[in-house]
Amino acid sequence: MSEWTEGQKVALVTGANKGIGRGVAERLAELGMTVLLGARDPRRGEEAAEALRAAGGDVRAVTLDVTDPATVRDVAGQIEEAFGRLDVLVNNAGITGSGQVSPQDAHDQVPSTVDLDMVRAVFETNVFGVIALTNAVLPLLRRSPEPRVVNVSSHAASLTITSDPEGPLVALLPSAAYSPSKTALNALTVQYANELRKDGILVNAVAPGFVDTDSNDHTGFLTVAEGAAVVVRLATLGADGPTAGFFGEEGSLPW
C-alpha cells in the first residue's frame, strides 16, 4: 500500500467488494486516487482490497454497513483521522430485495402482494442508508477542492421509461420495492444537489446498465468495467460538470 500524500484524492465506494462497486474502486485507484473500499463483511472487503493493491492501487478496506449507524460513524471518523477530507463518495451499496433477481423475487415485489417488510428493508439500504452515510461524511466533502457524489441508480428508476407500455423495460414485472427505491434515490439526488450546489459539490445519479453481477444472477450483458465507466466519469467531473442529473452511458436519462 502506498503512502498517502496531501494532494492525492480520496474516494469512498460503498458495497465495493464485488460487482460494479469493485469495478469503480479499481478504476479510481488506477486514476491515482486512494480508494476506501466499503464492505459489510470485513474478510471479503480485505480480500478485494488486497487483490486491487496487488494490481498497484492504493486501496484500503473499511467495514461499512450503511444500515448500521455505528459503522457509518466509524468510517467517517477513520477518514477524518487519516485524511482530513473526502473528495469522492460513490453510494453504490444497494439490495434488490429477497436475494438475487430470480423470477420468484420479481413476483415477490408485485405491488398488490408485496411483503412490506421486504420493501422497508430495500428502502433502508437503498435510500435511508444513502442519507445516513452522505450526511456523516458531508463535513469531509466540504473540505475537498472538488467534491463529487455519485448515487448508483438504475434505468428502472425512470418513471418515463417504466411507464411506457412499449418501452425497453416492458418485460419487467411491476415492483413495489427495488424500482421505487431507486426512483426515490433519484429524487434524493436532486435535493442534495440543490442544497449543495452553492458549495461546489456536484451530486448526480447514474444508471450503469444491465451489468453481469450477482444481483441479477449473472444475466447482464455488460461487463463490470463497462458498467463502472459511467460512474467513474461522474466521479471525476471537472468544475464545469453537471449536477442534479441522471445519466447512463448513453447520456442524460429521463426522470
Strand order in the sheet with 34-39: 58-63, 34-39, 10-13, 88-91, 148-152, 202-207, 246-248, 251-252
According to DSSP, the β-strands at 88-91 and 10-13 are parallel
- The residues assigned a catalytic role are 178
Alpha-carbon torsion 44, 228, 208, 221, what sign?
negative
Contact indicator for 109, 177 with CB cutoff of 8 Å: yes
How many angstroms from the chain centroid is the CA of residue 147?
15
Amino acid at 237: L
